[in-house]
Amino acid sequence: MSAAKDTKSAAGNLFLLFSFLIRDGNLLRSPVLAYAILASFTRSGMIFAINAIAGGAAIAFGNVALLAVTVISTLTFSHLARVNSFKLVETTKRRMRTRLSRRLLDARADYLATRDQGKVYSIVTHEVNQISSASTNFIESLEACLLIAFCIPYLFYLSWPSGAATLAAVIVGGLGYLLAQGPAQASAEAASRIEWQFFDRINDVLRGYKELRLREARKDELQNDIVDISLRERALKLVAERYYSLGQVFAQGAMMGLLCAIVVGLPLLAGTETATVLQILTVVLLTYGPIETVMGNLSSFSRATVAKRLIDGLERDLIRETEDPATLDRTAGPASFRRIELKGATTILTSTSTSGDDETFTVGPLDLTLVPGEVVFICGGNGAGKSTLISLLTGLRQPDGGQILLDGQPVGDRDLARYRSLFSAVFSEFHLFSRLYGLSADERAAIPGHLADLDLAHRVSVTDEKFSTLALSSGQKRRLALSVALAEKRPIIVLDEFAADQDPVRRALFYDILVPQMARDGHLVLAVTHDEHRFAQCDRLIRMEAGQIVSDERMDGGARKAV
């Protein structure tokens, strides 16, 4: 019962994979299908011409001409089919990668912040390659199947026992493949999940290279972990390969049995003439390669079905967590605002503990009103909820309870894009793009001036809409990110721990010159900081503890007020 269920499941997965390859690779509109059919047809004609010449008493010119034409045509159409199947592979890969990248770009920020990066990277690269490679195998198998479909009736014409034996061999080989696929796919999928951990460990190597070199024991244990992960992945892949190989053994055994039956069985049991046996052997031998191609590609299709399941799982997650672009109002955002309010805004953060249990931390309810031209400092201990407050205010995280109001109007899902366009930010864990993506010509033109103001003009320039270098210190990178934020000239500037990695001179530049100038220009400046001796230089000081705003104190504005 279980074997029958696995066989049915494998056949269903194979059908879904082929449907996907036809749909996503645009196979029905590609000339590759026509070339594959023509190559199969001309190869069948070549087999007929060979048998006609072998069975004739004299070599007829027409048969020789037919053989020459079919050989040349087969080679030509096979070449064109291979070239166009490569185009099909690249088309499938491009469509899948661009679709997944669009899904990732449209996913909620809080979802991306908690995802396993190794899993996403592996699926977008390795699993996509598995499916796109299956496109080529699909065309090869299609061409081979068409040839088999042409030749089996011809074998029945020559000798019905030989036709029946060939058909039986194909069926036995196919059933052997299907029976082996259930456990093979389970092991292959488990190996892919282990591989995600490998990508995570490599990410640790690339991002933690400094810490690793300061402690040899840490480096050795990480290497041991990588070795352990690689061994587990290898063991699972070997199990999968054994089952894949077992399926191919069934197919090869069936074909070997077919050859033995034709050479030995037909003359003895059916009394078939030697000339006819030679003709049958010619057909079988010339179709043996295509049949092996089909059987050999079945393991590739099985791996591709595993990859398809993993990709579908990621896509389902992304669709469920998407900010549907169709529902977003993408018109130009407001150039100014009167006030932003949090009214009872609450968000629940969930994490998994080492014991496997989910732990939650609630930030809020938060009540807060912000207006243009203010300098607002936010302080509090680690885990107080400062970064979550920033995520709520910038619209990167939507509240689980309560509301965000812009000029008295609730900010709904449709309004998120326009609302976020009020903000420029340099987050504590910011990412610096080498190219100036999305900036207008005026914004790009403003960056050199900001580079000079931030003491970066001697290190970085803008050429061909990209920065000349990103090989900078952490403090320089943060100032470079600020140059982009300032060039955007948005009403609100968010700076999360900006001064933490600046030297005393640049820290003074930040607090004494840059922040006051931003406020005088009309910006609302939201800065997360721990510099207590600078608190007097803000208009408001918000203190947070345990996910709550415990105080919202008015200050005198310090240096800005003195100007």
CB 173 within 8 A of CB 258: no
Establish whether domains 2-323 and 340-562 are of one fold: no
Domain-wise residue ranges, the chain: 2-323, 340-562
CB 54 within 8 A of CB 282: yes
* Partner residues linked to 342 by β-bridges: 368, 404
Query: Which residue do the tokens 């299907």 mark?
Result: 178
For residue 304, the tally of other CB atoms under 10 A from its CB is 27
25 CB burial (10 A radius; 0-12, 13-18, 19+): buried
- Domain covering 340-562 assigned CATH 3.30.300.30 in the classification: no
Cβ neighbours of residue 450 closer than 8 Å, sequence gap 6 or more: 482, 483, 486, 487
Q: What is the pTM of this model?
A: 0.68
CA 370 to centroid of chain Cα atoms:
39
ω into 325 cis (within 30 of 0): no
CA 459 to centroid of chain Cα atoms:
35
- Domain covering 2-323 assigned CATH 1.10.10.10 in the classification: no
Integer Cα distance of 213 and 222 in angstroms? 12
User: Alpha helices of 324-399 — where are they, by DSSP H?
Assistant: 386-394
Integer Cα distance of 305 and 301 in angstroms? 6
Per-residue pLDDT of the chain (563 residues; tens, 9 = 90+): 444 444 445 555 666 666 776 666 666 677 877 887 788 788 877 877 777 776 664 456 677 788 888 888 888 888 888 788 777 777 777 888 888 888 877 777 777 766 667 777 777 777 787 777 777 777 777 777 777 777 778 777 777 777 777 777 777 777 776 777 677 777 877 887 888 788 888 777 777 766 677 677 878 888 888 888 888 888 888 888 787 777 777 767 776 776 676 666 665 555 556 666 677 777 776 776 777 777 767 777 777 887 888 888 888 888 877 765 555 555 555 677 889 999 999 988 776 554 555 677 888 788 999 999 899 999 988 888 888 889 889 888 888 888 899 988 998 878 888 888 899 888 888 888 878 888 888 888 888 888 888 888 888 888 888 888 888 888 888 888 898 889 888 899 999 888 888 888 888 888 888 888 888 888 899 999 888 888 888 999 999 998 888 988 888 765 444 44
